Amino acid sequence: MQLFAAWNAWLGKRMFLLALVALALGFVVPISDSPSLRVGVIALFAYMTFVTALETSMRQFARVLSRPWIPLWALALVHIVTPLIAWGVGYLFFPDDANIRTGYLISASIPVGVTSIIWTSLTQGDVAVSLVTVTLDTLIVPVLLPFFFMLTVGKSLAIDYGQMAWQLLWMITIPSLAGMLLHDVTDGKAAAFSKGFGGVTSKIAFSSVILINAALVVPAMSWNVSVLKMALVTLFLVVLAYAIGYWGSFAVPNRTREITLAMIYNVGLRNISSGLVLALTHFPPQVAVPMTLFILYQQPLASLVPYVFKHLEKAQS
C-alpha cells in the first residue's frame, strides 16, 4: 500500500508530463472510433469519478447542494460570460468566417468537462463544489444550449437529452454516490484507496482518456496558416477561461483556496467530446476544427494551474 501511495504522489507531481505524453501518443497511435470504445471511455470516467468521490462525504455534498450559489455562479460564468467573450474574439480575428466563430461559440458554451472533478481532486480543491456544479449543469444544458444557439446563430439544436443524461448518470451520478456512500460507511477509511492503488490506476485511466480523445481528432486536423492562427486564438481563449474562473472566485463570500481551484477547473474545462458531436451533427465540418484545437490545450494547461496558482498566492501574501 505504501508503494502505491508513493507512486500516486510521484505521478501527482508530474501530471503535466503525463498529460503531454498521453496527448503525444494520441497523435501517433491509430485508434478507430466505435461504440465499444465509447463505452470504454464512459467506464474509465466512471472509475475516475468513483475513486475521486471516495474522499468526499455525503454530508459535504449535501451541504453544497443545499446552498448551490457557488456552483450556480460558476455556471453563469460558463454559459453566459465565456460564450459572449468567445463570440466577440471570433468576430475580432475571423470576421469573415462564420464557421470558425460558431466553432468558438460551441467550444465556450458546451457543458462543464467531467475531468474538472478529477483535476479538482488532484489539486486538493473542493470536490463537492465540482460534483454539484457538473450535476446541475447536466440539468441546465439541454434546456439552455438550444435556446442560446437560437439567439446567437439562429439555428435550433435538437439535443438528445436522454442519451446525454444516461451517459452522465453512469459517468458521474452513480459512481459519485457509490464513492461517497462507501466513504461514509467506512468512516473515511476508503479514502486510503484513492491515495494508493486507486489513485495510481485512476491517473492511468485519465491518461488513457486523453490519449483516446487525441487519437480520435487526428483525422480532422490539417495544418496550414489558417489553422496556426486558430491555434493561437484558441490558446488565448483556453487560458482566459481558466482566468475567468479564478477572477470569478473573488466574488464568492468566504473564498478559500479549495473553492478557488474548483471554480478554475469548472469554468476552464469543457466537455469537448459533446461539442464535437454537436458541431459535426448540426454544422459544416469546419465548425469542429476549433474544438479539435481545444483538446491540444485543455489538459496540459490544467496541469499547470496549481503551479500558477501557487505563485499567485505568494504574490498576494
Task: Assign residue 174 the CATH number of its domain.
Answer: 1.20.1530.20
Cell numbers for 160, please give them: 438528445
d(CA 271, CA 283): 18
Cα–Cα distance measured from residue 9 to residue 217, given in angstroms and rounded to the nearest whole number: 31
Q: How far is CA 73 from the centre of its chain?
A: 17
* Residues of the chain scoring pLDDT < 50: none
Does 109 fall in a domain? yes
pLDDT, residue 45, reads: 80
Number of domains in the chain: 1
Instruction: Note whether residue 115 is domain-resident.
Output: yes
Residue 147 covered by a domain: yes
For residues 280 and 272, give the distance between their C-alpha atoms in angstroms, rounded to a whole number: 12
In a domain, 172, yes or no: yes
Cα–Cα dist 140/272, whole Å? 17
pLDDT the model gives residue 160: 63
Residue 316 belongs to a domain: no
* Residue 273 located in a structural domain: yes
314, part of any domain: no
Helix, strand, or coil (residue 112): strand
Q: What is the pLDDT of residue 142?
A: 66
pLDDT in tens, 59-79: 888 888 888 899 999 999 998
Helical ranges in 186-224 per DSSP H = 191-194, 197-217
Tell me which residue range forms the domain holding 132.
Answer: 2-309
User: Does any domain span residue 108?
Assistant: yes
Instruction: Give me the DSSP letters along 246-259.
Output: HHHGGGSTT--HHH
Residues 6+ apart with CB under 8 A from 170: 42, 46
